[in-house]
Structure 1
Amino acid sequence: MYTSKQILAGVKNPQLLLSEINRLYTQKKNGCRYNPRGIDVFSEDWDNLLIFDACRFDTFEDIALPQLPGKLESRTSRASTSSEFIRGNFSDKQLYDTVYISANGWFAKLKDDINASVHDFRFVERDAANGLTSKPETVADAIREAAKEYPNKRLIGHFMQPHQPYLGDSDFDGGAGKLERVTKLPDVSQDDVIQAYEENLNLVVNEVDSLLDELKGRTVITADHGEIFGQRGHPIPVKRYGHPEAHYLTDLVKVPWHILEGDERKDIVADSPEDSMEEIDFDQVEQNLADLGYTM
């Protein structure tokens, strides 16, 4: 069911309407609300999984690979959006051997609907861009704290960068909201947006570079999904920006899988979950996702 606001948006912007047809077609064809050809991240071999939000493989290869130790591979994601990533990887799983530190609110929003739980989930403070996002260093500090507190747990650290809002030098209105809106700002070109996106990635890479030595075990850096800048969807070739749902284009589902072998692996143990979810303001989580351009 569509809200009156969504219907009006489709009338005003035929691109959104055509893109919605693409989404419905893909989900009907696949029979699920994620990309069934993608990997299950929990079946992969890692002790620490660091997620960069909306990070393209090619941009990671250009910017992160020269700065980080380790070996770069690629994987196919189950998602072109964060909500699909959560649905595709967490549904019907009780992951009591896993601690999830995240600046992305989709797990908190969906966990009950998809029957998912982890040993501990911590939603990171929104301390950048007027409360829209979290600084990479804030997320890294939360990961450090969790690594010390839970030495025998698989650890997921979910950074928001390079997803907008953009925190680098190319500051145009913070780059908040849907990427289509950002590209239509006065005096902002597609090249400007790509530069800001790359700056945002560089910020999180710099922070993670200093974090890696503090993490025990095998660490993998990946992305929940990629990002597109004017590529056309399927089956209707409508031009889109950002990461529209159920658009499984190569640049949206081919993600980095950067492996750093640790000297010593963790001895992973599963035990009863913590009650940290009670501390989360779920109304604020929903508002934050809406502010970032997601449709609730």
Structure 2
Amino acid sequence: MYTPSQLWRGFRRGVQQPSFFGQELNRLYNRRLYRREYNTDGVDVMTEDWDNLIILDACRYDLFSAQQECSGTLERRESRGSHTVEFLMGNFSGRTMTDTVYVTASPQLHRWNDRIDATFHDVINVWKHDWDDTHRTVLPRTMTDYGRRVAAQYPNKRLIVHYMQPHYPFIESPEINVGNRLDGTDKTDIWGQLRNGDTNVSPSEIWEAYRDNLDRVLPAVQELVTTVSGRSVITSDHGNMFGERSRPIPIAEWGHPPGTYTEELVTVPWQIVSASERRDIRSEQPRSSSNRFTPNADLRPDDNAVTIDRLQALGYQE
């Protein structure tokens, strides 16, 4: 459900960018006139067989298949979302998962948890206190370090490690600025600029920066899966579009807009890395805090600006 301010911003965008109306019509079609909040045809990741679920944010299947050198078996899955919030809603909403610890570089669960209402044994919000101010994201090495530490702390829990890459910001290409519309202005992000032909950055430069982000994160993921016990799966919450046509209105899309269930966005990798020894998974009462990993981890109510600022840095819009 949209707020009045979001509807007003959407109307202004539609006047300035006619393709926005086509995008919204596609969203209405895919979400069945908003009767569903996510792609109900996608896989329920919590019912799959894994001890460690490694999420690469915004990773396309085709690029992962071309770039990855991890051991194991690569399969395809259909995601429940074309956007992180849809993925979280589709897989975690209303669930009690006290056998699982979620370690995340993304602020999205924290931002929307009142709506998602997910209960894990523990949530480690790495983005709160190990944020890299230079690159304006959480770096892959940081996530691997947390994954190893949390796996050692919780040897009897399933582990979800949500890396930010290959999602923007582009670590090797900081000059490419996505921008955002979270602040309520009419600024257009790089995906909108590409859609409207309003940027001097070429699509090939964006693709190379996106590929470089994946190349940056893959060695860190490989290190994690080879140092933690149990069966691991490497996957993504959604993909990313680079000018391919959406449906049923055939407009060229960029980025990963919600409610857009194209192959480029919902076909995700599912790399299975088997293990000779599985973990003995047990449910326990949720932990009240994660201070042993991130001191003073819980943001105060007046620190909501920190969450918004970091979502802006990641190129998100509401």
Tell me which interval the TM-score lies in, with the shorter structure as reference length: over 0.9
Q: 1:205 to 1:219 in 2, by over 3 A?
A: same
Match of 1:138 among 114, 138, 142: 142
Matched, 1:244 2:257: yes
Q: Corresponding residue for 1:161?
A: 165
Q: Corresponding residue for 1:151?
A: 155
Matched, 1:275 2:288: yes
Paired residue secondary structure (2:32):
helix
Unaligned runs of 5+ in 1: none
Q: Corresponding residue for 2:17?
A: 13
Match of 2:306 among 269, 284, 288: 284
Q: Which amino acid aligns with 2:232?
A: T
Paired residue secondary structure (2:116):
coil
Deviations 1:271-293 (A, max 9, x none): 11112277135442233223433
Unaligned runs of 5+ in 2: 181-188, 291-296
Match of 1:222 among 235, 250, 267: 235
Q: Which amino acid aligns with 1:86?
A: L
Q: Which amino acid aligns with 1:229?
A: F
Q: Corresponding residue for 2:100?
A: 98
1:62-211 equivalences in 2 (<5 Å):
62-64=66-68, 67-125=69-127, 127-128=131-132, 130=134, 132-168=136-172, 170-175=173-178, 177=180, 178-181=189-192, 183=194, 186-211=199-224
Q: 1:37 to 1:29 in 2, by over 3 A?
A: farther
Paired residue secondary structure (2:280):
coil
Contact 1:176/1:182 (8 A) holds in 2: no
Q: Corresponding residue for 2:184?
A: none
User: How far apart are the structure 2 equivalents of 1:287 and 1:8?
Assistant: 23
Paired residue secondary structure (1:113):
helix
Contact 1:30/1:36 (8 A) holds in 2: no
Deviations 1:231-288 (A, max 9, x none): 1222211111010111000111110000111121000011111122771354422332
Q: 1:26 to 1:215 in 2, by over 3 A?
A: same
Percent of pairs with identical residues: 39
Matched, 1:50 2:54: yes
Q: Which amino acid aligns with 1:180?
A: W
**How far 1:182 moved relative to its partner?**
6.3
Paired residue secondary structure (1:39):
coil
Contact 2:93/2:116 (8 A) holds in 1: yes
Deviations 1:142-184 (A, max 9, x none): 111111110100000000100111012x442355544415646
**How far 1:12 moved relative to its partner?**
1.2
Paired residue secondary structure (1:142):
helix
Answer with 15-24 or 89-98: which moved more: 15-24
Contact 2:192/2:254 (8 A) holds in 1: no
Contact 1:222/1:255 (8 A) holds in 2: yes
User: How far apart are the structure 2 equivalents of 1:233 and 1:115?
Assistant: 31
Q: 1:289 to 1:131 in 2, by over 3 A?
A: same
User: How far apart are the structure 2 equivalents of 1:243 and 1:198?
Assistant: 16
Q: 1:154 to 1:176 in 2, by over 3 A?
A: farther
User: How far apart are the structure 2 equivalents of 1:240 and 1:130?
Assistant: 30
Contact 1:34/1:85 (8 A) holds in 2: yes
User: How far apart are the structure 1 equivalents of 2:176 and 2:208?
Assistant: 15
Answer with 18-27 or 183-192: which moved more: 183-192
Deviations 1:99-125 (A, max 9, x none): 000011111122221221101111113
User: How far apart are the structure 1 equivalents of 2:265 and 2:210?
Assistant: 15
How many residue pairs get aligned? The number is: 293
User: How far apart are the structure 2 equivalents of 1:38 and 1:143?
Assistant: 26
Q: Corresponding residue for 1:295?
A: 317
Answer with 204-213 or 264-273: which moved more: 204-213
Q: Aligned-residue CA RMSD in angstroms?
A: 2.0
Q: Corresponding residue for 2:226?
A: 213
